[in-house]
């Protein structure tokens, strides 16, 4: 399996990626907001995504977004093709996109919203901590991205203080406290339930 930072060579997979995002979210009844083909093309072309392939087939995908003038970074849209699930692909992709976020935006806080236990475990190993929603970006554009989620009404009724997703946050300065450098975790959770995974 090859896991690469995206480029124009990966645009051949964009329709398949978008369709699987939609199908998986429908099956689960939850998930992140739907993204347009144009939006995904932009992320892939700019190198702001990670694409996993095997023998020319698309395996998985995840992209990064920045908010609040680069103070926050989100790893979004983590998805694994049904054919390649339960092989630990989500963990490998998440590790790669997390490192891409840290390389591009070393001083930014990295956050995610997820309903998936597997992603919570992956995030925890990467150094994320559960937080309340007020600790995340308050950028209106980010929250507008939730409008296509089936749970958007719940989010608004709760005045954006909470929803069905768990908020998790990685704070860069926490990795060097007491002189301890952050290291990537060992790959585990090979039996994780990989479907449409918010991150």
Q: pLDDT-derived band of residue 33, with 50, 70 and 90 as boundaries?
A: low
Query: Is 170 among the domain residues?
Result: yes
| Residues in contact with 153: Cβ distance below 8 Å, sequence separation at least 6, in sequence order | none
Residue 145 has a pLDDT of 83
What CATH number does the domain containing 93 carry? Answer: 3.40.630.30
Lowest mean pLDDT, pick from 27-36, 105-114, 123-132, 138-147 = 27-36
Query: Is 181 among the domain residues?
Result: no
Tokens of 10: 């990966």
Higher pLDDT, 115 or 53: 53
Residue 149 has a pLDDT of 81
Residue-wise pLDDT tens digits, 136-166: 999 998 998 888 788 889 999 999 999 999 9
Q: Whose structure tokens read 């090979």?
A: 190
- Which 3 state secondary structure label does DSSP give 100? helix
Query: Quick check: 60 pLDDT over 90?
Result: yes
19-25 mean pLDDT: 83
| The model's pTM | 0.81
Query: Is 43 among the domain residues?
Result: yes
104-111 mean pLDDT: 96
Query: Is 188 among the domain residues?
Result: no
Query: Is 54 among the domain residues?
Result: yes
| Residues in contact with 145: Cβ distance below 8 Å, sequence separation at least 6, in sequence order | 32, 33
Its domain, for residue 131, covers: 2-175
Query: Is 189 among the domain residues?
Result: no
Domain count, the chain: 1
> What CA–CA distance (Å, rounded) separates 34 from 166?
19
Query: Is 185 among the domain residues?
Result: no
Query: Is 196 among the domain residues?
Result: no
| Residues in contact with 96: Cβ distance below 8 Å, sequence separation at least 6, in sequence order | 3, 5, 50, 62
Residue 199 has a pLDDT of 54
Cα-trace Rg, the chain: 16
């Amino acid at each position: 399996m090859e896991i690469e930072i995206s480029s124009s060579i990966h645009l051949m997979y964009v329709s398949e990626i978008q369709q699987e995002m939609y199908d998986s979210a429908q099956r689960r009844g939850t998930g992140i907001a739907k993204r347009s083909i144009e939006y995904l093309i932009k992320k892939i072309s700019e190198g702001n995504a990670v694409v996993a392939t095997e023998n020319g087939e698309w395996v998985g995908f995840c992209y990064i977004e920045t908010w609040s003038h680069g103070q926050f970074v989100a790893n979004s849209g983590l998805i694994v093709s049904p054919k390649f699930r339960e092989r630990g692909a989500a963990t490998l992709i998440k590790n790669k996109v997390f490192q891409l976020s840290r390389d591009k935006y070393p001083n930014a806080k990295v956050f995610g919203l997820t309903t998936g236990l597997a992603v919570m475990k992956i995030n925890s190993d990467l150094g994320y901590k559960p937080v309340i929603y007020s600790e995340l970006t308050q950028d209106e554009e980010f929250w507008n991205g939730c409008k296509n989620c089936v749970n958007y009404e719940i989010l608004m009724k709760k005045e954006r203080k909470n929803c069905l997703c768990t908020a998790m946050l990685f704070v860069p300065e926490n990795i060097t406290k007491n002189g301890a450098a952050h290291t990537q975790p060992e790959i585990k959770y090979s039996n994780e339930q990989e479907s449409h995974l918010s991150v």
